[in-house]
Each structure stands twice: as structure tokens, then as C-alpha cells.
Amino acid sequence: MSYLRIWLASARYSIVRTLMFRFDFFLWAMVELFWMSVNLLLVTVIYDHTASVAGWSKYEMILLVGTAMLIQRYVMGFFWSNLFEMSRNIRSGTFDFFLAQPGNPLFMVATRKLDPDGLCNSFVALGVVIYAAHRLGLHPGAADLAAYGLMILCGIIIHFSVLVMSASLTFWTTGGDSIVTSYFSLFEFSRLPRAAFKGAANVIFVWLLPVVVVSNAPASTLLHGFQPSYAVWLFAVALAWLAVAIFVFNRGLRRYASASS
């Protein structure tokens, strides 16, 4: 409960700060909305010239893109700014501020603030998923919806874990923030069907860096129903990535020398 109160206080601070700079919030929300619209427009243009891409029809692809955008909006809204600034704070010594707080350092770093503009656009992404499901005539049951939600959570955990590991490299190097920024480009692969990746690309983007599976798994659940083996595998991968991220962060924390040095 103490951690919940800390998180609620951080969320309240972020909302108040956003209300103080309303135009900034509106501007970035519109930029993200424009980016999402471009992605959907690209899908529409492609399917004006073909009926299928890697076995996915137009509205199946829109459902996949909507799922990828939903995961991305949550990651951006809850964690992106915090983990991007983590590298900068480690180099400048401002990281001392988080170590002095009464809580787990990783929790304090990762939940310092929210980005309400990204979270607001998550409703747009959810609307895209609902629209695509309606056009496909899907009627998922309660179990399918629950599985979809849990897989979305697993995808968020996987992306969060990779971002934590990327930012933690700053304990050893000086370029952690550039690695975190570079990882953002890998989000783009999550909008593509898994069947489109062959050979080395399949090994890298499906197995080593599961940026493709995190969106394909929940989308496939809505399209084809709950698949227990798929869900268990994704859950195990999420736990494994999180465990590795915590280990790397804690190992890096031992090397931190604070601002005084």
C-alpha cells in the first residue's frame, strides 16, 4: 500500500504539471495522434494494392497495428520518460535523489512521473482494436479478453525490462540514453506479422528481442481464440526478461559512485 500511495502521489504531480502546461500536452498528444494516423493510413494504402500480407487481411492487420500501438502508448505513458532520464541522472549524479527516497530504487526511478499525452492516446489505440474486431465480426469471450489483457501486460513488461537494461548500461558506459532511444525504433517491428520474418530476422526480432511476439500474441488471441501454450510461453518470457533486468540494474547499482565522487 505504501508503494501504491507513492505512485498515486507521482501520478497526481504529473497531472498537475500537465495542467500547468496545457498547450504542451495538447501539442504532443496531437503529434502522437498524427503518427498513429499515418500508420493506419499506410496500412490502408498497402491493402489498396493487395488482399493479404503474410496471410493477414486488411482488418486483421489493423487489429495488429492497434494492439502494437496500445502497448507502445502504455510503455511511453508510464515508463519512457523516466527510463530515458535515468541515464542522464546517473551521469550527472542526480541519481542520488532516488537512492535517498524511502523505496526500492528501481521503482522510484521508473514511476517518477507519467506522460498523460501518451496515456490519452491509448484510448485511441484501443478504439482501433475495437473497430477492427467489429469489422472482422469477432465476438471474443471473457476468457479471450482476459488473455488478451494479460498478454498486453506481458508485452509491457518485456519492453519495460529491455528499457531498464538499456538504461542500466550507463552504470558502465556513457551512452545509455542513446541505446534507450535506439530501442524505440524497434517498436516499429511490432506492427508487422510474425510470418513476415524469415531466417536471421526471425531469430533476432522474434526470439532474441521478442518485439514482434508481444503484439502478435495478443492479436492472435482475439483472432483465433485463447492458445494456452502461447500464453504460458509469453508469460515465462516476460518473467525471464524482468528477472534479467532487475539483476542488471542491481549489479549496476553497486558500481554507482554518487555525485560526491
AA letter at 2? S
AA letter at 226? F
| Predicted local confidence at residue 125, as pLDDT | 92
Residues counted in the chain = 261
**What is the C-alpha separation between 164 and 106, in angstroms, rounded?**
9
Looking at the predicted structure, is the pLDDT value of residue 221 above 60?
Answer: yes
Q: What is the pLDDT of residues 109-126, one digit of tens each?
A: 988 888 888 888 899 999
**pTM for the whole thing?**
0.88
Q: Pick from 25-39, 50-64, 168-182 the range whose average pLDDT is largest.
A: 50-64
**What is the C-alpha separation between 146 and 169, in angstroms, rounded?**
35
Measured from the Cβ of residue 222, the count of other Cβ atoms closer than 10 Å reads: 23
Looking at the predicted structure, is the pLDDT value of residue 214 above 80?
Answer: yes
- For residues 236-261, average pLDDT: 85
| Predicted local confidence at residue 49, as pLDDT | 87
AA letter at 69? M
* Secondary structure of the chain in HEC code, one letter for each residue: CHHHHHHHHHHHHHHHHHHHCHHHHHHHHHHHHHHHHHHHHHHHHHHCCCCCECCECHHHHHHHHHHHHHHHHHHHHHHHHHHHHHHHHHHHCCCHHHHCCCCCHHHHHHCCCCCHHHHHHHHHHHHHHHHHHHHHCCCCCHHHHHHHHHHHHHHHHHHHHHHHHHHHHHHCCCCHHHHHHHHHHHHHHHHCCHHHCCHHHHHHHHHHCCCCHHHHHHHHHHHHCCCHHHHHHHHHHHHHHHHHHHHHHHHHHHHCCCCCC
Looking at the predicted structure, is the pLDDT value of residue 240 above 90?
Answer: yes
- Assess contact for 213 and 206: CB atoms under 8 A: yes
Cell of 247: 539483476
Percentage of the residues of the chain whose pLDDT score is greater than 70: 94
Of 60, 80, 69, the closest CA to residue 39 belongs to 69
Quote the mean pLDDT of the chain: 85
**What is the C-alpha separation between 252 and 172, in angstroms, rounded?**
7
- Assess contact for 62 and 87: CB atoms under 8 A: no
| Predicted local confidence at residue 238, as pLDDT | 92
Q: In sequence order, which residues have a C-beta less than 8 Å from that of residue 210 and are 6 or more positions away?
A: 158, 237
| Predicted local confidence at residue 153, as pLDDT | 94
